[in-house]
Structure 1
Amino acid sequence: MKTIPGPDAFSQTLKNDARKYPNREDERYDDFMFFPAIEPSFSIGRDETVFTIGSCFARNVEKFLLDHNVTVPTAHFEAPHEEAPGNPNRVLNQYNPGTMMQVVEAAGQTPDKRAIYGGLTGSVVDCLLATGGRAVSKSRAMERRQQISDLYGAGLGASQTVIITLGLIETWYDKQDELYLNEAPGVRFVRKNPDRFEFRQMGYEECSSVVNKMLQRLTDLGKKVVLTVSPVPLQVTFSGGDAVTRNAYSKSLLRVVAEQAATTFDNVDYFPSYEMVTTGGFRSFGNDNVHVRPIVVERIVRYMLDAYLR
């Protein structure tokens, strides 16, 4: 709970030029989108390295960071086309706070075989990555895990700033391996192991706990963090009901967690990319109503860099 003495509340509010919700004459409004006023608590040098963690929206952000000559280690990771058609680093996508926390904690370590599940033909699927269920050989699965662990180890080590895009609160959990999963195991494998897996719709306490654990790790490493919520909606829900209402709940909870985290950690800023995209309505999205139009991503990244870049 946030409390302010009555007189101070009036004084602070009168000094706040952004206190009123913007109408269409407000400078924060432009072309059917709002660009909320932000006050960065730190800056990013143009010669710094920025590490990105998140889903497809984070991948889009990488492209425009590169266009501004910012060094972004994750943008250069490439998986073979058959593993990542269309985008060679899509396997880096992390969707829920649990897997984001796990990959930060495992950075630079030798990976183990947990959450790698065998297929009928001897191939395996790695449910800690965004593979779309694409199977590979066991040796390739371990090789790829080591490549990503090395990327996180070296990339985080070289980075001064980390941009984290929280995606959703729905996740699968492997009770045997004690791991959050990035993708659901195959339905046949789940049915063969009925007591091993469970679906979780993370609540506030669990979600806040894993986000804070991840941020504490990055704080201990001396990193500055820009925390955002992805505007990309939940595409399929396992929690029952309509995906539209489940998505609204997911984003709302993540937004609360992000606010709490930015208040708790001095080195963490919240950046309102979610608010910017959603105030633009369906104009902000492609025909699938899921992926944000590149021109909108570019405007948002430019707005962020104008505020943060020295």
Structure 2
Amino acid sequence: MSEAKDRPRMPHPYETLPEHSFWRTAVADRDPLEISGLWSPRYPIKRRTRIVTAGSCFAQHFAKALVARRYRWLDFEPGPAGLTADQRRDYHYGTFSFRTGNIYTPRMLRQWLTWALTDAKPPEEAWEKDGRYYDPFRPGVEPGGFVSVKELLISRSETLTAIAAAVRGAQVFVFTMGLTEAWHDKATGVEYAVCPGTVAGQFDAHRHGFVNHGFGALMDDMTSALRLLFRANRGLKVLLTVSPVPLTATASGQHVLTATSHSKSLLRAVASELVAAQVRVDYFPSYEIITHPAYRGRFFAPNLRSVLPEGVDHVMTQFFRDQAAAFGGDTVATPPRTSLPPTPVSPTEEAPEPELTEAEELRCEEELLAAFAPDQRDV
């Protein structure tokens, strides 16, 4: 008994934790804009790091913020010379590092990478509307549609070539996961960017089916996508994010609010599991920064869906601050806003001057679903 009394008391684990481990000191006692240290990056991302981006709508913000701060975001499908800034945006040039349009789900990412990096061929499917043709896997990239199926397939082939070049030429691949809900061909399992019949084509209940991917399917698709990426580029790192943008609409039968929570929770859990399992994968918490109650909704527009420019700026400030804290260097300041759109960077060019428009509209196929809301049907 005397030995036990004389033995120095061992502190329990909570007595030695840093302040960021406690809600009061890390969150409640701070102004929301002073909450820091949310990310401990695994690898450095410098100005000369070759970065490519893909994913859902919020990934567009991420790419523009990198360009505006003179980081080396690469565009492997810059499009024909002579296009105006508005034409480039309308035709989805410079939106992502290749002209896929939005890639909403892990299944869609796996699909594109399989077509681009293996011998597998995409189906020669096209949607028709008013005598024009739309790509079911990126229906929004060609306003007004293609003049022929042949032109559509040639354009898709160019995008697949660009994807392969981007994967092999990048050092960091940033992918923003956005949705778990999708529409697919029941017979082949091939997944579409949007529900057939919304943008173009015809919906066929016998052929087309709704799917809401569960955790297992999401993990399988992301694991397969990562395997494809790493086989093509052994030095590649992957940075995952989850889009903070709520669903425009849900076909799940749930209320859209709970459907959003379900979808984002699954994607966030998948991201954590992949970071734990894959040393070359990291996760940046843009989702938490925008959506967490600690920030009191201050980064959302009045529609409670669109992310304000101030929100994007704060997300990117945290990104560069945490990089500087982990690997040294100065935090990159928010660039001044201008009335000009960002200029894409080709793989061989130097980073451009910062150009970022404040009110630029995102090009998202999912946004078109809002037109089918009940208050719009009788207009």
TM-score normalised according to structure 1 size: 0.84
Mapped pair 1:202 → 2:213? yes
- Cα 1:153–1:9 change in 2 (3 A) is farther
CA distance in 1, matches of 2:76, 2:297: 28
In the alignment, which residue of structure 1 is the partner of 2:300?
285
In the alignment, which residue of structure 1 is the partner of 2:271?
258
Point out the more displaced range, 208-217 or 299-308: 299-308
CA distance in 2, matches of 1:190, 1:58: 29
In the alignment, which residue of structure 2 is the partner of 1:169?
180
Is the Cα–Cα contact under 8 Å of residues 55 and 94 in structure 1 kept in the other structure? yes
Q: 1:206-253 deviations in whole A, cap 9, x for unaligned? A: 111101111222233221111111001111101112111100110011
Q: 1:247-281 deviations in whole A, cap 9, x for unaligned? A: 01100111111111111101111111100001234
Q: CA RMSD in A?
A: 3.0
CA distance in 1, matches of 2:15, 2:284: 21
CA distance in 2, matches of 1:115, 1:35: 49
Q: What one-letter code is carried by the residue in structure 2 that aligns with 1:104?
A: L
Residue in structure 2 matching 1:152, options 160, 163, 172? 163
Q: What one-letter code is carried by the residue in structure 1 that aligns with 2:189?
A: E
Q: 1:163-212 deviations in whole A, cap 9, x for unaligned? A: 11100100111133431211111167223xx3321100111111111011
Deviation at 1:60, TM superposition (A): 0.8
Q: Report matched runs for 1:160-309 at 5 Å.
A: 160-186=171-197, 189-191=202-204, 194-220=205-231, 221-222=233-234, 223-279=236-292, 280-308=295-323
Point out the more displaced range, 58-67 or 142-151: 142-151
Is the Cα–Cα contact under 8 Å of residues 83 and 131 in structure 1 kept in the other structure? no
TM-score normalised according to structure 2 size: 0.70
CA distance in 1, matches of 2:247, 2:60: 17
CA distance in 1, matches of 2:15, 2:282: 21
Aligned pairs, how many? 298
CA distance in 2, matches of 1:9, 1:94: 49
CA distance in 2, matches of 1:277, 1:109: 37
Residue in structure 2 matching 1:94, options 103, 123, 132? 103
Deviation at 1:12, TM superposition (A): 7.7
Deviation at 1:100, TM superposition (A): 1.2
Q: 1:6-41 deviations in whole A, cap 9, x for unaligned? A: xx9954872343211233434xx433x844532111
In the alignment, which residue of structure 2 is the partner of 1:39?
40
Is the Cα–Cα contact under 8 Å of residues 286 and 292 in structure 1 kept in the other structure? yes
In the alignment, which residue of structure 1 is the partner of 2:132?
123
Is the Cα–Cα contact under 8 Å of residues 55 and 102 in structure 2 kept in the other structure? yes
CA distance in 1, matches of 2:139, 2:304: 21
Q: What one-letter code is carried by the residue in structure 2 that aligns with 1:146?
A: S
Q: What one-letter code is carried by the residue in structure 2 that aligns with 1:64?
A: A
In the alignment, which residue of structure 2 is the partner of 1:4?
none
CA distance in 2, matches of 1:126, 1:262: 33
Mapped pair 1:114 → 2:123? yes
Deviation at 1:42, TM superposition (A): 1.1
In the alignment, which residue of structure 2 is the partner of 1:50?
51
- Cα 1:213–1:9 change in 2 (3 A) is farther
Where 2:252 maps in the other structure, the secondary structure is coil
Q: What one-letter code is carried by the residue in structure 2 that aligns with 1:59?
A: Q
Q: 1:45-69 deviations in whole A, cap 9, x for unaligned? A: 3212101111121011111101222
Q: What one-letter code is carried by the residue in structure 1 that aligns with 2:137?
A: L
Point out the more displaced range, 278-287 or 200-209: 278-287
- Cα 1:110–1:266 change in 2 (3 A) is closer
Q: What one-letter code is carried by the residue in structure 2 that aligns with 1:206?
A: A
Deviation at 1:72, TM superposition (A): 1.7
In the alignment, which residue of structure 2 is the partner of 1:3?
none
Is the Cα–Cα contact under 8 Å of residues 76 and 165 in structure 2 kept in the other structure? no
Is the Cα–Cα contact under 8 Å of residues 127 and 136 in structure 2 kept in the other structure? no
Point out the more displaced range, 47-56 or 177-186: 177-186
Is the Cα–Cα contact under 8 Å of residues 58 and 165 in structure 1 kept in the other structure? yes
Could you tell me which runs of 5 or more consecutive residues in structure 2 were left unpaired when the two chains were aligned: 1-9, 328-379
CA distance in 2, matches of 1:124, 1:198: 22
Where 2:90 maps in the other structure, the secondary structure is coil
Q: What one-letter code is carried by the residue in structure 1 that aligns with 2:20?
A: A
Percent identical pairs in the alignment equals: 24
- Cα 1:147–1:234 change in 2 (3 A) is same
Is the Cα–Cα contact under 8 Å of residues 111 and 142 in structure 1 kept in the other structure? no
Is the Cα–Cα contact under 8 Å of residues 92 and 101 in structure 2 kept in the other structure? no
Residue in structure 1 matching 2:90, options 85, 102, 116? 85
